[in-house]
Amino acid sequence: MDLLIRFLRFLFSPFVPQAAWALKMNQGYDAEVVGLFGDVALPPAAGTSTATTATSMTDSGATFGSNVYKWHMVICGTAYGIIQSHTGTALTIDRWYSLTSPGGSAASTPGSTTAYMILPVGGPCNFIHLTTTGSFTPSATDTTLSGEITTAGGGLVAKLATVAHVAGTSTATLTTVHVANGSDSLPAVVTGIGVTGSLVAAKGPLLYETAYGSSATAASSGDQVTSVDTITL
Amino acid sequence: MHVRLGVPVAQEHGEPAVYDQPIHTGEGGHDVTVGADVNAMALHLARNTGPVTHLPGNEAFVNVVQTFRLLADGRPATWASVKPTDGEDPAIAEDFERQLASFYECPRGIPDNVEETHWTTNSAPPGVDSGQYATAEEA
């Protein structure tokens, strides 16, 4: 048996990567600029909040302007959020993330008066969302992933990806292994993915979309769907 | 945990290189089953060559093997190192390193001469110290 396994391991290259090269969204270019180069010319934005909710933070004395910090990361206490929009005094975020467990449950809402800082760069775009849209076709003008799986408690909802890179090369990969569970609506025929900066469905930025070469059907609880998105740096 | 594997030949520069992949194993991350039967997993993956696998509890293993195959052009790793990150149970990283070394039939740990022989993080070619591996023990 050992010899057979050794033979199969390397000779047959048994895996079928699900997602190949990603199409970058128009929105993705903007997010990439913020992520790579930052907005250091913008006025500093730090202070103490005057009110917070699960998806917002207010500083009644701030002068943020209007949406200039969109997609930026705001750190408030020990949690952070990705700014979706804002007014002069109030930020709307996707949710609060734990610094140590960004792919897990939402972090507790910071206290109403908590020190905060809006970073001059965007947050990491390392969440993979699955879609079941038939004949899924990525489009650069998309701002949300159509047909995204959002089943509450399901294992096929958005997930934190791992990032892999070989030193001295010009590509990186984002990989997730989603596991269907009893809450998912099965069978689920997965046709593609979206890579975003948010674990929350329909929140941005949407960086990439990729259609699978062939669909992947998760038929029963415990079935795993692997997505490997290769990005040229 | 921080997974590092030896790539025998990176296609772009034709030399050995370090493969880096941090993996979150906590809530919302990719699971590791300590003590998992590597031969059984290899056989399962060989029998299930399609897009869907069924190795619940071993998402990190599927993730690494699948990704490494792409980035190393299908070649097996020449060595395997897995270090725990802050707050992570060291037993998980320890056993995951065993799983990968067993799967690729390669030594465990980062080679002492990795800076001399591999491209390393920060785009340091062989012979250039990236400053990341003072000694294999510290890495």
Nearest CA in chain A to B5: A166
Asked if A40 has any chain B CB less than 8 Å from its own CB, the reply is no
C-beta separation of B42 from B13 below 8 A: no
Query: Is the pLDDT score of A5 beyond 60?
Result: no
E strands, chain A, in order: 23-24, 46-48, 51-53, 56-58, 72-76, 79-86, 90-93, 97-98, 115-122, 127-131, 159-160, 162-166, 171-179, 188-196, 206-218, 224-232
Q: What percent of chain A has pLDDT over 90?
A: 74
User: Which residues in B lie closer than 8 A to residue A223 (C-beta atoms)?
Assistant: 52-54
Confidence of residue A140 (pLDDT cuts 50, 70, 90): very high
Task: Give the one of B10, B18, B62 whose C-beta lies nearest to A224's C-beta.
Answer: B62
Asked if A163 has any chain B CB less than 8 Å from its own CB, the reply is yes
Mean pLDDT, to the nearest integer, of A43-53? Answer: 91
Confidence of residue B63 (pLDDT cuts 50, 70, 90): very high
Confidence of residue A211 (pLDDT cuts 50, 70, 90): very high
For the four alpha carbons of A19, A23, A24 and A26, in that order, the dihedral sign comes to negative
**Interatomic CA distance for residues A174 and A103, integer angstroms:** 14
Q: What pLDDT score was predicted for residue B35?
A: 98
Query: Is the pLDDT score of A34 beyond 60?
Result: yes
Query: Is the pLDDT score of A181 beyond 90?
Result: yes
How far CA A132 is from CA of A28, A140, A185, A212, in Å, comes to 22, 19, 11, 11
Peptide bond connecting B107 to the previous residue in cis, omega within 30 degrees of 0: no
**Interatomic CA distance for residues B118 and B15, integer angstroms:** 7
Which ranges in chain B belong to alpha helices (H)?
38-47, 59-71, 90-104, 114-117
State both tokens at A81. Answer: 């959020």
For the four alpha carbons of A73, A177, B68 and A232, in that order, the dihedral sign comes to negative
Q: What pLDDT score was predicted for residue A16?
A: 45
Mean pLDDT, to the nearest integer, of A81-109? Answer: 96
B112: left (phi over 0), alpha (psi -120 to 50) or beta: alpha
Q: What pLDDT score was predicted for residue A19?
A: 52
**Interatomic CA distance for residues B20 and A164, integer angstroms:** 6
Asked if A103 has any chain B CB less than 8 Å from its own CB, the reply is yes
Nearest CA in chain A to B43: A5
**Interatomic CA distance for residues B111 and A216, integer angstroms:** 39
**Interatomic CA distance for residues B61 and B103, integer angstroms:** 10
State both tokens at B91. Answer: 């037993």
Beta bridge partner(s), residue B7 = B17
Q: How many CB atoms lie within 10 A of CB A51?
A: 13
**Interatomic CA distance for residues A224 and B41, integer angstroms:** 13
Q: What pLDDT score was predicted for residue A39?
A: 79
Q: What percent of chain A has pLDDT over 70?
A: 91
User: Which residues in A lie closer than 8 A to residue B120 (C-beta atoms)?
Assistant: 167
Asked if A214 has any chain B CB less than 8 Å from its own CB, the reply is yes
Query: Is the pLDDT score of A174 beyond 90?
Result: yes
Q: What pLDDT score was predicted for residue A21?
A: 61
What is the residue-averaged pLDDT of chain B? 92
What distance in Å separates residue A170's CA from the closest CA in chain B? 8
**Interatomic CA distance for residues B97 and B83, integer angstroms:** 8
Q: Which of A123, A129, A128 is nearest to A94 (CA)?
A: A123
